[in-house]
Amino acid sequence: MKVFRWLWVIATLAVLANGYRVAMYVVPADADQGNLSRILYYHVPTWCGMAIFFTVNLICSLVYLAIRNRNPERAMKTDALALASAEMGVVYCLIGMATGSIWGKAAWGIWWTWDARLTTTLVLWLIYVAYLLVRRFITGPEMRVMAAVIAIFGFADIPIVYMSTRWWRTQHPAPVFFGGPNTGLAPSMMPALWWNLAGWVAWGVFVVALRYAAERRQQIADQQAAAVALEAA
Amino acid sequence: MNPMFHRHLVAAYAVTWIVQLSYLAYAARKWVAARKAQREIQKNRPSS
């Protein structure tokens, strides 16, 4: 298992290094934006990572609510994975907003605008930050149930974020994937996107696995501490 | 192209790596702390 973990890390770093090489030196610069368009090769994979890990969080939250009474041990595992994936999703969302803001400053001349895409994304980030704050500051057995319910409601914002560029007139362009006619990337730019997408998703999987392991250890340590206290009493 | 735009490209890539590595460090610290807590409890457990 340890060997597999190290192989995963090495493969991830190799894919990210190659992704950087392809993004910087292989694919051509955009005709309009020049080298600035290369931000896309980190910006888009970040959003894909966010969507993946918030979806994992949603699934784990639903499973937790479904099995928490029937199978508490497995429910605790899914809860640990829900926490790890939510944190990773928040990190990806933050990076997506930061890289988008830097790109927007150069392309549009502004750091931020309150258009539908950016505003719904900020709301999404705040919902998941609230989810993490609930987990951090609320104690007691109902904390996990409350967090799972917030996660389910929070996820409802993701389709709104995705569809915002279709439903409303926005400063932000249409999505790269499934964005409709006259959207998407030139085939010559796709290799950089795929390499970086694979690299950042693999990175996310590694970090979530590490965070999950830490949370599981903490849960077990808390259970052991409770057992020791009972024995002492 | 405006040479200032290169700064934006570098900034976007740097921000990505800084935030990702910071979170990795946070996750690793949590992992080490949890392992230490688990060991402490096992060490202090009264033998029956």
Which residue, A23, A95, A38, is CA-closest to B6? Answer: A38
- Tell me the per-residue pLDDT of A30-56, one tens digit each, with 9 for 90 and over: 877 888 889 999 999 999 999 999 999
**Which ipTM score applies to this complex?**
0.90
Closest CB from A43, A106, A218 relative to B34? A218
Single-letter residue type at A115: D
C-alpha A45/C-alpha A51 separation (Å) is: 10
Give contacts of B28 with chain A, Cβ < 8 Å: 210
What are the phi and psi torsion angles at A30 (to 5°)? -70, 145
pLDDT in tens, A157-176: 999 998 888 887 777 776 66
Q: Do B38 and A224 touch (CB under 8 A)?
A: yes
* Nearest CB to A39; choose among B12, B24, B33: B12
Greatest C-alpha distance within chain A: 74
Residue A83 has pLDDT above 80, yes or no: yes
* pTM, rounded to two decimals: 0.91
What does the pLDDT look like over B4-38, one tens digit per residue?
A: 578 999 999 999 999 999 999 999 999 999 888 87
Distance CA(A85)–CA(A55), nearest Å, equals 9
Q: What letter represents residue A85's amino acid?
A: S
Query: Which residues make Cβ contacts (< 8 Å) with residue A162, sequence separation at least 6?
Result: A175
Q: Which is higher by pLDDT, A184 or A96?
A: A96
- Residue ranges of alpha helices (H) inside chain A are 2-21, 40-67, 72-107, 116-137, 143-155, 157-167, 190-232
Mean pLDDT of the residues in chain A: 90
Per cent of chain A over pLDDT 90 is 67
**Cβ-Cβ contacts under 8 Å for A189 (sequence gap 6 or more):** A27, A28, A30, A40
Tell me: the pLDDT tens digits for A127-140? 999 999 999 998 87
